[in-house]
């Protein structure tokens, strides 16, 4: 007789959902997520947050509110750090507090503090205390955690194989039920066809998309950037599809180690796209007023200006962004690439 744990479909849902789902299900709980982001979800989030918060944080608030009444618990981990000597972003560190202060009448919050910046002991203690809410057996918690890690590893392999989170979850059979089916043809094409290198060989346009997963994979927030580009016949490689070894190596070109995990990945991916010749263009999509991206984007722009061989564009989104404006800019960007490729 498990209880229901809700996971908001926002922020690091796109990185960790399979892991969190398997963990709670192995502990005998039922896992639900909020629906896709809609205007109503965004509006609900905007209403309870301060103006200055970034769109992804506002969207997250909206998803938490959308889970009210649908579950017994809502899982809002405090993601301080997921690797040694690096953070995610200050807003992730205060997320459960922000939700608690702003959202009334929501299910009980599970706010496990995930901090791997110094030791793994702290992390295992958080896993254990989270598990203890549902079972007394330490063994069972450990086993659930192992299964969760395995699921995450499989998920990451799918992503690095060129699938988007939605597609990867569909392949793993854990897509949230109310979703429209992922675009099967595209998934099949990118997983069987050898990925971007093959697409490039076949004369197709390949674009590297740099952006936080919670922006580029959320169709509402990103104004459908992935689907739009694919409809224009473009093969898209996102920053998450590059192996960590590549992004780490490339990010090390910056004289100082970037202390944001996602920021370092974006920087490494951007450098790779701009320098390796593996893509025809590099598109950076960011949220208005995103702190890390204000500096990462600047460094990438300067790199692009120095090299001048791969077109680079930045698109900034916020809650006022209109789809028509984005579409025009995407078309213009793809046109620029096409014109440069003509002999």
Partner 1 sequence: MKVTFAHMGNLYITVRALLEDLGAEVVVPPMPSKRTLSIGSRHSPEFACLPLKVNIGNYIEAMELGADTIAMAGGVGPCRFGLYGEVQKEILTALGYKFEMIIVEPPQGRLRHVLQQVGRLVGRNPVGRYVRAARLAWAKMTAVDELERLAQAARPFEGHRGAATAALASALELVDDAGSPARVKRALEEGREVLRAAREPGGGNSDPPRIGIVGEVYVVLEPFVNCEVERRLGEMGVLVERSIYIGDWVREHLLKDVLRLRKGRRPYELAKPYLCHFVGGHGVETVGSTVEYARQRFDGVIQLAPFTCMPEIVAQDVLPAVSRDLGIPVMTLVFDEHSSDAGVITRLEAFVDMVERSRRRRASRG
Residues that bind partner 1 (CB under 8 A): 49-50, 52-54, 78, 80, 85-91, 93-94, 97-98, 101-102, 113, 254-256, 258-260, 288-295, 297-299, 302
Q: How far is the CB of 76 from partner 1 (least distance, A)?
A: 13
For partner 1, give the closer residue by CB, 145 or 286: 286
Range 161-191 burial, b when 16+ CB lie within 10 A, else e: ebbbbbbbbbbbebbbeeeeebbeebbebbb
| Among the listed residues 49, 23, 44, the one whose alpha carbon sits nearest the alpha carbon of residue 34 | 44
Around Cβ 221, how many Cβ atoms within 10 Å?
A: 26
- C-alpha distances (whole Å) from 317 to each of 195, 322, 325 are 28, 9, 10
Q: How far is the CB of 78 from partner 1 (least distance, A)?
A: 6
For partner 1, give the closer residue by CB, 179 or 248: 248
Q: How far is the CB of 102 from partner 1 (least distance, A)?
A: 7
d(CA 58, CA 56): 5
d(CA 112, CA 288): 28
For partner 1, give the closer residue by CB, 104 or 339: 104
| Among the listed residues 262, 196, 259, the one whose alpha carbon sits nearest the alpha carbon of residue 230 | 196
For partner 1, give the closer residue by CB, 79 or 223: 79
Q: How far is the CB of 265 from partner 1 (least distance, A)?
A: 15
For partner 1, give the closer residue by CB, 55 or 152: 55
- Sign of the torsion formed by the C-alpha atoms of 281, 322, 47 and 76: negative
H-helix or E-strand containing 315? strand 312-317
Q: How far is the CB of 256 from partner 1 (least distance, A)?
A: 5
For partner 1, give the closer residue by CB, 78 or 227: 78
Q: How far is the CB of 81 from partner 1 (least distance, A)?
A: 9
């Amino acid at each position: 007789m498990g209880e229901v744990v809700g996971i908001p479909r926002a922020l690091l849902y796109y990185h960790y959902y399979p892991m969190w789902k398997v963990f709670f299900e192995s502990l005998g709980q039922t896992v639900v997520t909020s629906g896709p982001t809609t205007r109503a979800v965004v509006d609900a989030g905007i209403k309870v947050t301060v103006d200055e918060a970034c769109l992804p944080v506002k969207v997250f608030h909206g998803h938490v509110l959308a889970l009210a009444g649908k579950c017994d618990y809502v899982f809002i981990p405090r993601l301080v750090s997921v690797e040694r000597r690096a953070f995610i972003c200050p807003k992730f560190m205060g997320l459960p507090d922000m939700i608690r202060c702003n959202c009334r009448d929501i299910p009980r919050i599970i706010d496990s503090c995930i901090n791997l910046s110094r030791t793994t002991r702290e992390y295992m203690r958080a896993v254990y205390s989270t598990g203890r809410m549902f079972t007394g057996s330490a063994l069972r918690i450990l086993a659930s955690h192992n299964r969760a890690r395995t699921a995450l590893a499989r998920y990451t392999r799918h992503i690095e194989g060129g699938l988007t989170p939605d597609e990867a979850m569909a392949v793993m059979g854990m897509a949230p039920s109310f979703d429209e089916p992922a675009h099967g043809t595209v998934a099949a094409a990118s997983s069987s066809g050898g990925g971007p290198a093959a697409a490039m060989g076949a004369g197709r346009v390949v674009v590297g998309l740099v952006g936080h997963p919670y922006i580029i994979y959320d169709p509402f927030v990103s104004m459908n950037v992935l689907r739009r580009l694919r409809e224009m016949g473009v093969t898209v490689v996102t920053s998450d599809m590059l192996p960590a070894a590549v992004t780490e190596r490339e990010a090390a070109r910056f004289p100082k180690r970037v202390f944001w995990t996602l920021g370092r990945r974006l920087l490494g991916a951007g450098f790779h796209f701009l320098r390796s010749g593996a893509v025809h263009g590099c598109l950076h999509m960011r949220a208005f007023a995103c702190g890390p991206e204000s500096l990462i984007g600047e460094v990438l722009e300067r790199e692009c200006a120095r090299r001048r061989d791969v077109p680079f564009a930045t698109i900034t989104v916020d809650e006022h962004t209109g789809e028509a404006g984005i579409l025009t800019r995407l078309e213009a960007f793809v046109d620029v690439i096409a014109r440069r490729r003509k002999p």
